[in-house]
Amino acid sequence: MMMAAAAGKNRSVFAIVISVVVIVAVAGVGALVFWMNQTAKEPAASPAAASINEETGAIAIGDGENTVAEYIDFMCPFCQQAFESYSDTTTELVESGDITLEIHPISILDRASQDTQFSTRSASAAYCVAEDNGDAVYPFVDLMFRNQPSEGSSGLDDAQIIEYAEQAGATGAADCIEAGEYMDYVTEMTEETPIAEGGQGISTPTVVVNGEVIAVTMDPETDIVANLQ
């Protein structure tokens, strides 16, 4: 009888231990799921500057009524061509107060830079420049395109990007650039790039005039001026 009672007691203790282990395990899984959900919902750190729209990722240059938005990847040769083709016209329109030029640095060509993430790093750097000195953004973009690395190369390293940032006038952006401070933000904003009607996915350059995605012909009169109000 005593042995049977002892065996029964042991089974009860064993059952309690198993129940506790199961409860702890379930609680652990629940906590992990909760943490993963919370992490997934947390937005990436966004740059803070008067010229940056944190919701859209636009870096504004000028304050005109019309808006011309350029979505660019610093590794994209067509972006370089478009920027060069539009440069004189957009500069005049910004200076005359006719347009606000919005630069959206995005990243779709990391695959073309030998795993150095050049597109994402350089786009992040543009936000670092904007935070440090809004007036340096356009000169920085110009320098980056004038010294654009070829697709399939390793791209520019951080030291080279910092050099161009400093030449443009952003002398305090080095730490931010080296840290890749806004790389996650760039990834998030890239997904928000508008797609032209009939398009198969995000592409660069994407040019949007007053909310309408336009067909890029590299002719500023056709692409930009003709679409202004």
pLDDT at position 34: 44
pLDDT band at 75 (very low <50, low <70, confident <90, very high): very high
Of 178, 142, 121, whose CA–CA distance to 70 is shortest? 142
Which value, in Å, is the radius of gyration of the alpha carbons in the chain? 26
- First-to-last alpha carbon distance for the chain, in angstroms, is 98
Q: Indicate if the pLDDT at residue 82 is higher than 50.
A: yes
Q: Indicate if the pLDDT at residue 91 is higher than 90.
A: yes
pLDDT at position 209: 98
Mean pLDDT of 12-19: 48
Specify which of 43-57, 174-188, 192-206 reaches the highest per-range mean pLDDT.
Answer: 174-188
pLDDT at position 41: 52
| Contacts with 121 (C-beta within 8 Å, 6 or more apart), sequence order | 155, 158, 161, 177, 180, 183
Q: Indicate if the pLDDT at residue 56 is higher than 90.
A: yes
pLDDT at position 12: 54
- The neighbouring-strand residues paired with 99 are 66
| Lowest-confidence region among 34-48, 63-77, 128-142 | 34-48
pLDDT at position 214: 96
| Contacts with 32 (C-beta within 8 Å, 6 or more apart), sequence order | none
What's the burial of 227, exposed, middle or buried (CB within 10 Å: 0-12/13-18/19+)? middle
**Mind listing the pLDDT tens digit for each residue in 120-137?**
999 999 999 999 999 999
d(CA 227, CA 220): 10
**Mind listing the pLDDT tens digit for each residue in 208-227?**
999 999 999 999 999 999 99
Q: Indicate if the pLDDT at residue 150 is higher than 50.
A: yes
Mean pLDDT of 191-214: 95
pLDDT at position 207: 98
Fold designation for 59-227: Glutaredoxin (3.40.30)
| Contacts with 25 (C-beta within 8 Å, 6 or more apart), sequence order | none
Q: Indicate if the pLDDT at residue 205 is higher than 80.
A: yes
Where along the chain do its domains lie?
A: 1-42, 59-227
Higher pLDDT, 6 or 120: 120
d(CA 193, CA 26): 41
Higher pLDDT, 18 or 53: 53
Q: Indicate if the pLDDT at residue 25 is higher than 90.
A: no
Q: Indicate if the pLDDT at residue 206 is higher than 60.
A: yes
Q: Indicate if the pLDDT at residue 113 is higher than 60.
A: yes
